[in-house]
Structure 1
Amino acid sequence: MRKTCLLLLTLLLGAGAAHAQVDSVRASTLPPDQQAEKLYNSGLAKFNQKSYRAAVLDFDKALAAKPDFARAYSNRAAARYELKDYQPAVQDYDQAIKLDPNSFTPYFGRARAEEALQQPTEAELDYGRATERQADYAPAWYYRGALRFEKADYAAAKADFDAAIKADATYAYAWHDRGSAQRQLGSLSAAIQDYSQALKLQPDLLPALLNRAGTRRRAGDLKGAIQDYNNYLTKKQDNALAYTNRGAARYEQADYKGAAEDFTRAVTLDAGYAFAWNNRAAAYLKLEDYKKADADASQAISLNKEYAEAYLNRGHAREMLRQPDAACQDWHRAADLGLAVGLTHAANSGCP
């Protein structure tokens, strides 16, 4: 945002000033437009110092001096946004747009406030208006792409991320989110390339590392996926999902002991993580520790009464523990919840 130079008022005293009468000195004031500029610049300085309430007061005064001051409306709106006063911010942006409809800034700002007000349709339209007025402003493309991604319009989201990257090839988040759109569209190799570029631009962008791991796993590159999970977990050890996903990759590599260890870390971090309890049950089944498998599947069911896969796994554990009636009940329950293979296991075991 362009700042306007401060206008300085200086009193110049002539050589004869010492002999002048006191009542001959006159006060000097700035014209309203110049006073508005001075207050506006003061508001900008306070905004940059994150003194948002003080900035709003200065912009108030600037607008009192100059009611058609579009930039003051726009910047007061920005300060109000930072204060989470979203509806007043929208109203200020409305005024800025009326006064200067060709500027992209108030459209972008209004879109951000509309997002905060849970108005995604309005926000998407305003991001579009911002791109029409400033096609090389990458954030407008990016934020509209994020909205389109959230409503599962992945092709449109990708197109917006393409435009954001064209406008700013160093925009790591745009590379990352385009990777996620590519992944949803089934272009796994392209997604991996985008995540890699995001990490090249911003090595500490850990979600890109985690998402590249998941995409590599989906593409069948278990070794690459596990390496990414390893790198992620050396930097962040408090993510139960990361341990669960690495455990799943290890399970697919037939490293059942390593998988069980990762699922254990996951449930230690999040005791309410039903998915991790069930996955550890599956690993214990492979390790032929049927009592632990039964206990873990039961814990998953206690957390989610409609967890079909957990009933299926508990059925397998109870079959091996010589509890045929309980196994049959679990397999039938899995089938009732939509897992048709439960009926197959029940039939093969002679369940009534």
Structure 2
Amino acid sequence: MSEPPGTTVSLADAPSTDAPSKPLTAQRVQPLRRPGRWLVTLVVLVLVAQFIHGLVTNSFYQWDRFGYWFLRPTILDGLVITLEVAALSAVLGLLGGILLALARLSKSPVLRAASWTYVWALRSIPLIVVLIFLYNFSALYQTLSIGVPFGPAFFSFDESKLATDMAVAVVGLSLNEAAYAAEVVRGGILSVDQGQHEAASALGLPKSYQFRRIVFPQALRSITPNYVNQLIGLIKSTSLVFYVSLLDLFGSAQTMGSTYPGDIVPLLLVVTVWYLILTSVVSVIQFYVERHYARGATRSLPPTPIQKLRAGVTDLRARIRREASI
């Protein structure tokens, strides 16, 4: 309906549909309800509680015997051997993997073919077969010599004197680990932007310097998580050295289980817990190594577990204050 001529309409008299009923500061943002998430969370919590209850109350696990064996000298001696084998194999395997990766990326067709053949062969042969073959290597070659092929030997030595149980275990695991580490390192090097190579070449930097100071540090961002995954697999693979007469952690538990057949389950639990501890320590080291090499690649470094805990406590306090003020 139109107003008569000369009539003035005030804006204050006009009804406002946009005016909020409460000030903006007094309004609360209601979170989106997710009943499905709460239901799944409840189911998971119930299953976890049932698992823990069964683990604690089941007398079949013999937790008193577990406590007896956990820190026994026999188990700790096997743990030390496991750590020694894993550490030596990890270092030698990584060094061998770097050399194989560089050979695979070389312009020499002979080096590329040799590296590819090695990686193909060692990734195809089961580790237990490699260890048993090396353990019986002296039956095939009683003596090893260095000299001219099909000619005189300059130096010879008895293979059986060098092939101790520890040496067989370390060599076998290192050879196997180098094949997998080669592909991890090669993938990390290929992940570095090609412009980095071109910029380093344009500056006239030597190839070795380019690799050590420019390419490889950036490649470590990709290499670290993949190789640590291999390292965790290596720690578990040390259990196979028992089959070459080396009493590592698993071998010690297996020997004690033969002597005390009633304690087989507690001994297996001891081995399981120790492997969980070792792999957890490696995972923590992996986090901080990745965080170190993330500098310059991300705007902010990922928070540490302690920082996450502090942030969670601060957020909880803020929520409590908001609830109390309403």
How high is the TM-score relative to the length of structure 2?
0.22
- Which structure would you say has the larger RCO, counting Cα contacts within 8 Å and 6 or more residues apart? 2
